[in-house]
Amino acid sequence: MTDLHDPEGGLDKISVLFFHSFQEYISCCHGCELCYGQAMTFGEHIRTWREERGIGLRWFAKAVGVSPTFVSKMERGRGPLPGEATIRKMAAFFDRNPDELLALADKVAVDVLAIIIKQPVYAGFLRANAHLTKGQWDTLANTLPPSQDKNDGS
């Protein structure tokens, strides 16, 4: 890990510290499980989703606010990955969960990082419970009362 910031001011590779062990529990669009040795890269997922919808590279690039060259290089794994703002646009474009796309790109949302910075004990909780399955995480989440503010780390 060298530079933790991307050109858009988001975080790059910081998810390795907090969420890398959780990638195996996030299902991708094709029903496979994302894991340390994931079968498809972020760019390959984007290309697959784009082509499944018959969307041209130039049209997609314009829709998410980047250049066609950027998309082409990203899809082929030859360029940088987009920052959080662009990944969120891509998630909205494909009607996907933005946190799942961020995880595919080895990134974590800035608001999640802010919660962990505000309450460092949460990082320990995540590490201590990294062995839980997605179903167990869902059960745990369903036992908690609804949050008043989804971005509140207190």
The number of angstroms, rounded, from the C-alpha of 18 to the middle of its chain's C-alpha atoms is 12
Q: Is the pLDDT of residue 140 over 50?
A: yes
pLDDT at position 89:
97
Q: 96 lies in a domain? A: yes
Q: Tell me if 84 sits within 8 A of 10, measured CB to CB.
A: yes
Q: 49 lies in a domain? A: yes
Q: 4 lies in a domain? A: no
Q: 8 lies in a domain? A: no
Q: Is the pLDDT of residue 118 over 90?
A: yes
The neighbour count for residue 42, using CB atoms within 10 Å, is: 22
Tally of domains within the chain: 1
**What is the tens place of the pLDDT at every residue in 31-50?**
444 444 457 899 999 999 99
> Average pLDDT of 69-95?
96
Q: 73 lies in a domain? A: yes
Q: Which residue range(s) make up the domain with 35? A: 15-143
Q: What is the CATH number of the domain that holds 28?
A: 1.10.260.40
Reported as a pLDDT band with limits 50, 70 and 90, residue 141 is confident
Q: 6 lies in a domain? A: no
Q: How far apart are CA 43 and CA 114, in angstroms?
A: 27
Q: Is the pLDDT of residue 120 over 70?
A: yes
pLDDT at position 14:
43
pLDDT at position 149:
60
Q: What global pTM score does this model have?
A: 0.68
